[in-house]
A and B are shown apart, each in its own frame.
Chain A
Amino acid sequence: MPTITFSLKDLQNLVGKRLTIEEIQELAHYGKGDFEGYDKETDEVKIDFGDTNLPYLWSVEGFARLVKGILGMQKGIPEIKIHKGDYQVIVDKSVIKYRPYIACFSAKGCKIDDYLIKQLVQLQEKFCEGYGRRRQKVSIGLYSYKRLAFPVHYKATDPLSIGFIPLEFKAKMNLREILAEHPKGKEYAWILDGFEKYPVLVDDKNEVLSFVPIINSNFTGKLEVGDENLFFEATGTDEEAVNLASNIFAYALYERGFEIYSVEAKYPDRKVVLPDLKSEVINIKNEQIKHLFGLELKENEVKHILEKAQFDFEDYKVKVPPYRKDILHPYDIIEDIGIMYGFDKIKELQLTTLTVGSTFKLNEFIDTVREIVIGIGYQEIMSPILTNKDFLYKKMNIEDFGTIEIEDYMSETYSVVRSWILPNLIDIFSKNKHVAFPQKIFEEGILNTRKGDNIIECSRIAIATSHEKADYTEIRQVLDYIMRCFGLHYDIEEAEHDSFIDGRVGRAIVKGKKVAYLGELNPAVLAEWGLEMPVAALELNLSELWEVVEKK
């Protein structure tokens, strides 16, 4: 979730009012933001804005706008004036199949300083990384247009046919070289996977502005302190999203005192004047407010509240400001009514309908088994479910019997879902060799195995005892006791399992179901884990045993 940083003074200037840190903390909540801190020395405020669909708040200008609404200093959709500009972008048909949309405008009349550059870059990065899906859906460029010869051309070109000096570099490179060598090229090359031609913006003298969406030119695509004529462009695969980017930036720069000039984009089949500030209109109903918030509001109250939230309201028709595209359902507007009304002012109600609480019968059964095993003197443990194959098989002297593996794991240690629990217990023994014996432990939990195309999930309990005299009899007695507690008849048959000593491992069968392995651990396994004490253990399938108990 995007965390943004800005100067407190700057926020106060934009809002036109002194604000305390406590006030900012409260105000941030209206934007679903969490105040993260204030550094007195640098005057920096940090806020984490949670809503991934409200990118206009990822800039101090956007937050200041919201604050003005909340404080009643500004009502309805904030104004923005657009001058007609004589700038043109020509969209070549070559680019349509790769990255078909562009939105732009020009801004002039203010000198930019170091702080503003940082703010613009912050918004650009947050927008492109999050909302822009790491630049794939939207990427943004800012230029000093004094260096540009209009019209600008947006086209796709052969990677080797064109070259320029990319930002922060000294040598001219062609597009393929940039992808291979420039850090941004390497980072974003995946977006162009499978493209025969690459999208570029060039000016009328064929000077490259940008290799889209990778890197700008060091000549035109670099903002410097003192620049006062800006050209903004956003390109991408989703027209609504590139327009949103353009509108958010246009509003932000307008509120900083820039004059905004329109740009005409000439597509092969149509002409568009940008920025496109058309407002969406959504119909809401008063009952919806009551339905969601239990609030009964008069029409003029609704109007007042929505204007604070910077919507225009007329006869339950709500106009959405052009820097917002998060309204899918009327409820999205109703939520804003609730927020502006104040969550803290909405009165609580208790649930009054009687419902009966319960847990699953299987879980009750599991708890009973746990209680029995604890009663015999076993310490319960709990382990992470994620583990690795070495742990489950190699160190247990057996072959993989069907494992759920993770495709892109973060660390090999946690690369599969456990398929049995006993290794967790052996692991505990290996980590506690210095602790007093006897050590008697158990763990109940979920595990998963893979049988071909099927995934089998079940609950099992593993029980293990380790001390000088630990043996088959002892663990068999544990199993016997559990079975007797439930009045279950069971048989034991000889089994083969290489984690155990040959001839000292059995399988317990209840009503034809093979529910457990039990035996003395193979010294080869003990050696693998560096254990010096004998271990006897069992692993019992509680999901299957429950089926038997339930039917009885």
Chain B
Amino acid sequence: MEIKKLAESLNPIERKVVKVLDNFSSFHDIIKITGLKDIEVMRALQWLQNKNIVKIKEEQKEIVSLEDNGIKYLKYGLPERIFLEALGSPISIADLAKKAKLTSEEIAISLGTLKSKAAIEITKGKEIVMSITGQGRHLLKHGLPEEQFLKEHFPRELISLNEEEKFVLENLRKRKKIVKVGLTKIISAEFTETGKKLAKEKLDEDLIEKLNPALIKSGAWKGKKFRRFDVKINVPQIFAGRKQHYRRFLDEVRQKFIALGFKEMTGPVVETDFWDMDALFMPQFHSARDIHQGYYVKEPKYAKDLPENVVKNVKAAHENGFGTGSKGWGYDFDVKRTHRHILRTQGTACSARMLASKDLKIPGKYYAIARCFRYDVVDATHLSDFFQTEGIVVEEGLNFRHLKGLLRMFAEEFAETYQIKIVPGYYPYTEPSASLYAKHPQLDWIELGGSGIFRPEMVKPLLGREVPVLAWGIGLDRLAMFKLGIKDIRQLFSHDLEFLRNAKVV
């Protein structure tokens, strides 16, 4: 960037720093001279370095600095001075302590130091009496070497100390919290070649820092320059309101179904054995029931609002096939048990309700994104509380060939693939049953869903007659996890706000 533009890009703080940098290079000095806060200077130096105006140097140096007591003594005087001042005439230790208001520790230290400097004399009689010497008076008048030392400007580099000062330092270091010597990072900065040129530029030009209503209104901005911004600079992150990542995915799935001509169907999460399993022609006492181990509700145990005639039909289907040409399961259907409340185990419960509903339209296409529950340990691949995507297509004349066409459409829409495999599967309520595998561009072959044509033993009791019903359920969680870039299924319901705020929007 040309020097002039560069000069125009300096903000007021940078300008202050640039102006003093010729004479003062240490970080500490710059702060003192400019009166800026250390964080301001630090930032300004970094900005300037980013603009290749200065080069920041960092060195490890041994630094002498004052500690708490050192600062205190600098302000109120060393204890030995207070001691000496209190020693007008010979006095006992006890009286002196009272007079000087020193702690016994301070008395002891003062006593030692002053004795070694021959500033006091101790006479032992009935009691110990102290008196000041000539040397003592001299020191009182001209100052103790330790006092001189503390008055120096701190922090200072150890190598800048002369022999005498080093001797005093060693003495003071033996005392509690007066001075310390430590390794410290010393920051300084010097101009680069660009910086040197820049320093010669006129930096006092009146640049507009922030445009404001007053400037706009008065027109005072006319003829003035705005400080140039570094438009490439990184800025702090913001976060705002947004959809939950998995919910966004489900919203899109819903949109897709609507676009494909499907109507939404629903049902309660607290279901009954009836809609959840019996209406699906799953026998009450059969191992097929083991597939869907569920959560039964403690109270109220039984539902009161099942449609009596539909229950009667389903009962007949289980017992003798309900005139569908089926033998049925040939056992006594338990009507009380069918009323038992259970948390919905499968989205197909919604399909059963739809088939029995007076709102059903034939031909009709229906979908549900249903919250379901399974008796499962929650871990990286299992949730006991999850969503199932299910649906039906009800129309005279439909058969397995249409089911295949439908499954292909789903594979294309949801897994973005044209490569599919449709193989025999098993569901208690469909005949035929088929599983859909899709070759996902990245995940390779995945099982995308299960499907089939509802058995007549399921359809007739609910609908009153036999109509082909293509039924399907697609497993979208794996696709969702892939799209969202997550490995642990529990992250679909993540409680990590940082993650939620930064989750990929797909």
The chain A residues found within 8 Å of chain B, CB to CB, are 1, 29-32, 50-53, 130-131, 133, 290-294, 328-332, 334-335, 338-339, 343-344, 346-351, 353-360, 363, 367, 370, 373-386, 404-411, 414, 417, 427-428, 431-432, 435-436, 439-441, 443, 446, 448, 450, 452-455, 457
Contact A343 B296 (CB under 8 A): no
Contact B241 A376 (CB under 8 A): yes
CA distance A348 to B298 in the complex (A): 47
Distance to closest chain B CB from A460 (angstroms): 14
Contact B498 A435 (CB under 8 A): yes
* Given A29-B423, A32-B424, A448-B270; A331-B431 close (CB under 8 Å): yes
Contact B406 A328 (CB under 8 A): no
Residues of chain A within 8 A (CB-CB) of B432 are 292-293, 331, 334-335, 338-339
Distance to closest chain B CB from A16 (angstroms): 24
Contact A439 B497 (CB under 8 A): yes
Contact A130 B497 (CB under 8 A): no
Contact B495 A428 (CB under 8 A): yes
Contact A331 B455 (CB under 8 A): yes
Residues of chain A within 8 A (CB-CB) of B291 are 1, 52
Contact A355 B263 (CB under 8 A): yes
Closest A residue to B447 using CB positions: A34
Residues of chain B within 8 A (CB-CB) of A130 are 287, 290
Closest A residue to B302 using CB positions: A453
Partner of B297, one of A293, A407, A440: A407
Partner of B457, one of A50, A329, A353, A367: A329
**B275 at the A interface (CB under 8 A):** no
Residues of chain A within 8 A (CB-CB) of B363 are 353, 355
**B328 at the A interface (CB under 8 A):** yes
Query: Which of B409, B428, B497 is most buried by chain A, counting CB atoms within 10 A of its CB?
Result: B497
CA distance A32 to B425 in the complex (A): 5
CA distance A387 to B371 in the complex (A): 15
CA distance A293 to B398 in the complex (A): 9
* Given A329-B325, A349-B401; A377-B434 close (CB under 8 Å): no
Contact A293 B385 (CB under 8 A): no
Closest A residue to B296 using CB positions: A407
- Chain B: interface size category: 35 or more
Contact B401 A346 (CB under 8 A): yes
Contact B240 A377 (CB under 8 A): yes
Contact A358 B264 (CB under 8 A): yes
CA distance A450 to B298 in the complex (A): 11
Residues of chain A within 8 A (CB-CB) of B100 are none
Residues of chain B within 8 A (CB-CB) of A375 are 241
CA distance A431 to B499 in the complex (A): 12
Residues of chain A within 8 A (CB-CB) of B395 are 351, 353
* Given A32-B424, A331-B455, A382-B246; A52-B405 close (CB under 8 Å): no
Residues of chain A within 8 A (CB-CB) of B296 are 406-408
Residues of chain A within 8 A (CB-CB) of B424 are 29-32, 335, 339, 343
Q: List 20 A-B contacts (CB under 8 A).
A: A1-B291, A50-B426, A133-B285, A292-B399, A293-B401, A328-B321, A328-B328, A338-B432, A348-B401, A351-B365, A356-B261, A360-B264, A382-B244, A405-B299, A406-B295, A406-B298, A410-B375, A446-B269, A453-B304, A455-B300
CA distance A376 to B428 in the complex (A): 48
CA distance A409 to B377 in the complex (A): 11
CA distance A99 to B43 in the complex (A): 87
Residues of chain B within 8 A (CB-CB) of A384 are 383-385, 493
Contact A450 B299 (CB under 8 A): yes
Contact A335 B431 (CB under 8 A): yes
Residues of chain A within 8 A (CB-CB) of B73 are none
CA distance A450 to B260 in the complex (A): 38
Residues of chain A within 8 A (CB-CB) of B495 are 381, 383, 427-428, 431-432
Contact B365 A355 (CB under 8 A): yes
Distance to closest chain B CB from A279 (angstroms): 15
Contact B258 A374 (CB under 8 A): no
Residues of chain A within 8 A (CB-CB) of B76 are none
Contact A378 B241 (CB under 8 A): yes
Contact B384 A414 (CB under 8 A): yes
Residues of chain A within 8 A (CB-CB) of B361 are 355
Query: In the complex, which residues 380-398 of chain B have their Cβ closer than 8 Å to any Cβ of chain A?
Result: 383-385, 393, 395, 398
